[in-house]
Amino acid sequence: MKIPVGGIGCICALGGNTEEIKNNLFNSAASSSLPINRLNSFYSKSYPVYQAPAEILKSKNKDESFGFLFLRLAIEEALEQSGLTKTDLKKVRVGIIAGTSVNASFNCFDFYKDWRGGKEVSFEPLLYYLNTPLSRALQKYYGVQGPQMTITTACASGTDAVGIAAQCIERDLCDVVIACATDEINLIPFIGFIRLMIASSEPCMPFSLDRKGINLGEGAGVLILQSPKFLKERKTDAKGYILGYGTCADAYHPTAPDPNGIGLKRALNMAMKNAGIKKNEIAFINAHGTGTQDNDAAEAKVFNEVLKDVPVMASKSHTGHTLGAAGAVEAVLSLICLNVGEIAKTARFKAMDPALNIKPVTENTKISKDKKIALSDSLSFGGCNSVIALGCARYEDG
């Protein structure tokens, strides 16, 4: 597999576009906050989250969710980078593969709350949700017809969206695929992680000895995938490549990862085989790295077995856990690092946990010129494990 990425777009706590995100990623400029106006809960303890930039939040239309807003803006940026317009899209075979978690099931929260409380409600929000899954809403918005799918594999949704989108190109189903994922901060997962006792009241510290758990984040990541033929005809340059994809469900537990990382190990090996790459070609792996005890332990076990000595980056230390958007956001961040030629440090790592034997990159680190590949992995509820292999823009050079 070698699928060109024509353009990327992203919104997260690091910024409202990829240029802002690039600058802030290497300067650790993002910070967590306490969004009392968005998450009213009865917990006396405070749990910080990583919100999208304030100017982005203020631009939401009345009839759209924050999740759709993030995705709409990120797609616009990615299309602009690709040199594609809405008119261009109507002339070719365009697929839309969209990943989400909150937007798939929690976006009618106010309706559910009022209905359960016995209030008179309008069923319009519920009917809209049932009739317009995210990918279909995007299809209508851009006026295109082609394969469309909304992926809801919890926190692996974004990685699966990118991997399946690449397969659509590989199998000649599309000329262009908008591979994307989005999620917004929402009270249900916010309280859910607290009740699971894996939410951190401090900014998260992936893989650190004194890690305490997850911080939620929000945002969207977009990769415009194009067939090699289409890219060549348009005489444009790729911003990177999707080289491989692997996914495996281990069915170990509804919310906990397999402590032996069996599913992740298989997904990693599958992605590397699909890409035709070996360990010594990999510049780094952008880990799922949530900062929870069990998740970090399962990942560390697999990394030590399959990717020993490959540098580890944990980008959730900058963005928080963006749930269904995480895999796509992290794919964009991985491409940014590959193209800059530098691995962004993992924030707030203090001391190595001897039980993990993993020390992520703690300072921005130059990538050797012969290393052009990164892996990005996602673990999720339901035992989903997914991995993508990415190549930098100069992957085909020399």
Catalytic residues: 155, 288, 321
Q: Which residue's entry shows tokens 């998260």? A: 204
User: Which backbone phi and psi does 300 adopt, to 5 degrees?
Assistant: -60, -40
| Token pair for 160 | 């699966």
Tell me how far CA of residue 370 lies from CA of 59, 283, 367, 396, in angstroms. Answer: 42, 9, 8, 12
Q: Which residue's entry shows tokens 């024509």? A: 6
Buried b (16+ CB within 10 A) or exposed e, 292-312: bbbbbbbbbbbbeebbeebbb
**DSSP symbols for 162-227:** HHHHHHHHHTTS-SEEEEEEEE---HHHHHHHHHTT-B-SS---TTBTT---B-EE-EEEEEEEE-
User: Which backbone phi and psi does 292 adopt, to 5 degrees?
Assistant: -85, 160
Burial class (CB in 10 A: 0-12, 13-18, 19+), 54: exposed
d(CA 32, CA 130): 33
In 34-104, DSSP assigns E strands to 49-50, 94-99
> Is the separation of the CB atoms in 155 and 161 below 8 Å?
no
**DSSP symbols for 360-375:** ---S-EEPPTT--EEE
